[in-house]
A and B are shown apart, each in its own frame.
Chain A
Amino acid sequence: MVCDRPVVGVIDYRTGNSQSVRYALNSLGVPNRLLTSPADLDGIGRVILPGVGAAGTTMQYLSEAGWPEALRTRVVDGDMPFLGICVGLQILFETSEEQQATCLGWIPGTVRAFDGANVRVPQMGWNQVHRASTHPFLAGLPDEGHFYFVNSYYAEPADPADTAATTVHGVRFTSAVARGNIMATQFHTEKSGPLGLDLLERFAKTPQEELCPR
């Protein structure tokens, strides 16, 4: 069998849960590799930045390994499809209230803490995700679908057009982001049961011209 599917690289930066993402990709039959440094990007067609860490710590580890520059070249200046998960969504913005982190700044906006006066924090559990844009990444998403969240912070994009989906936890917040070839989910797609696997499959297998509108 000729395999012409893009190889998906999963960035390993010490505090991410990269293995969980790889197990999910394996179950979907998606060719994938663990990336421990930017040199591993050769031959990679799409890239996933998973995350369970804190924003500041995550940025520190990524910077030490040279990821911000390497990813900017491929994803922002280039057209490599990118999927950020959880903290991998949050660090796309300019700053985060978590550890007062300066983040990648690919998408204008900030990351704020949930207000514990209204709801339990962290948000931990299954919540509904509502589509908010026409970006193809979330096409076919059932509107009442539940996905697994574990977060104390949430992103606030400066441009509402970058919000691909919203969820309510005390406030209505941005639970998915999509801008061209940059996609990200606050929920853990790799741990959201069959619906989450559907999204990962969509990211990994949809032809690029269909997945990433210019």
Chain B
Amino acid sequence: MPAMTTGNLTTRLIACFDVVEGRVTKARRFEDNIDVGDAAEIATSVYADGIDEIIFYDILASAQRRQADLLTIRAVAEQVFVPLTVGGGIRSLEDMHAVLDAGAEKISLDSMAVRNPEIIAQGSAEFGRQCIVQSMQVKRVPVHPEIPSGYEVFIDGARQATGMDAVAWARRGEELGAGEICVNSIDQDGTHHGYDLEITRAIAEAVNLPVIASGGAGSAEHAAVAFTKAGASAAIVSSLLYSPRMERTVPVGEIKAELAKRYGLPVRLV
């Protein structure tokens, strides 16, 4: 039985930027992206407010078969002194070197890892397990023998079903050498109704890696239950921080204060 404890680590709040041409956008269920603002400016602002980490997805790089936007990655990395994970358009070790050279700490592999699982093993051997984040887009489907968890992995911006079971894919990723798993719920993405606790918990129990809950946060309470009930080590809170679709966005510091005060969770305060 894998350990459920993250030891003495604080809970982590992560801002996840879906970037298009240097601008942060916000989607709902992986569609209808609307413009939020300049990536470097938003990064600087959430850093000052105490964000623990930033994930940068170049959401068009993969479809356009080009490398991630190194200039924007660099502009963010120059001003933000918390960990930066980059995903999108990464097909080879050379691509990984390029984004790490631009200032990233971690590489996020998603659709590309489904197409070529060996890329997880290669990245892990070259940079260490801790450098490789296995990110997956999951959707609730009827339980059947191929999908015993009732959650299927999708790729290419949630457009393409893979026939793979989400929990089995997470286990496989751990075996291949992933160091962290980001579980993006397609159903919950951008809804502000809370994370999909069921699949987050199923994966957190199936692997011994830190798991990031992603998709659906609309309040500090949503993040709190992802930590306490689903075993997540980190939670992505993008909409909450800056989505124009939210009635009221909330600064990171305020979310953390509530996590600490109301739920007794360990947080890093700045």
Contacts and interface: CB of A to CB of B under 8 A. Distances in A.
B142 interface: no
Interface stretch (A71-79, A115-123, A132-140): A115-123
Contacts of B105: 17, 20, 52, 150, 188, 191
A113 to B, nearest CB: 11
B110 interface: no
B233 A125 contact: yes
Interface in B47-96: 47, 50, 52, 74, 77-79, 81-84
B130 A124 contact: yes
Interface in A45-100: 52-54, 57, 87, 98
Main DSSP-derived SS at the A contact region: mixed
Contact of A19 (B83, B103, B106, B270): B103
Interface residues of B, number: 44
A15 B127 CA distance: 6
B81 A168 contact: no
A120 B210 contact: yes
A152 B102 CA distance: 24
Nearest to A99: B125
Interface stretch (A23-31, A155-163, A177-185, A204-212): A23-31
B7 A150 contact: no
B83 A117 contact: no
B208 interface: yes
B210 A169 contact: no
Contacts of A17: 100, 103-105
B131 A52 contact: yes
B28 interface: no
Contacts of B128: 52-54, 57, 87, 98, 152
A202 interface: no
Given A150-B83, A192-B81, A119 B7 contact: yes
B177 to A, nearest CB: 10
Q: On chain A, which size bracket covers the interface?
A: 35 or more
A194 interface: yes
Contacts of B97: 14
Nearest to A14: B97
B265 to A, nearest CB: 12
A119 B103 CA distance: 29
Contacts of B74: 19
A27 B233 CA distance: 30
A194 B270 contact: yes
Given A122-B179, A124-B210, A125-B9, A52 B268 contact: no
A193 interface: yes
A149 B78 CA distance: 20
A197 B47 CA distance: 13
Given A19-B102, A122-B179, A126-B52, A197 B81 contact: yes
B131 A120 contact: no
A17 B102 CA distance: 9
A119 B130 contact: no
Contact of A196 (B2, B7, B81, B101): B81
A123 B82 contact: no
Nearest to B50: A193
B81 A128 contact: no
A52 B130 contact: yes
Interface of A: 14-15, 17, 19-20, 23-24, 26-27, 52-54, 57, 87, 98, 116-128, 146, 148-152, 167-170, 188, 190-194, 196-197
21 contacts: A15-B126, A17-B105, A23-B77, A52-B128, A52-B131, A118-B3, A119-B5, A119-B6, A119-B7, A120-B5, A120-B233, A121-B208, A122-B129, A122-B130, A124-B179, A125-B6, A125-B9, A125-B234, A148-B83, A150-B106, A193-B82
7 closest Cβ pairs, A-B complex: A125-B9, A119-B7, A146-B268, A122-B130, A150-B130, A54-B128, A126-B268
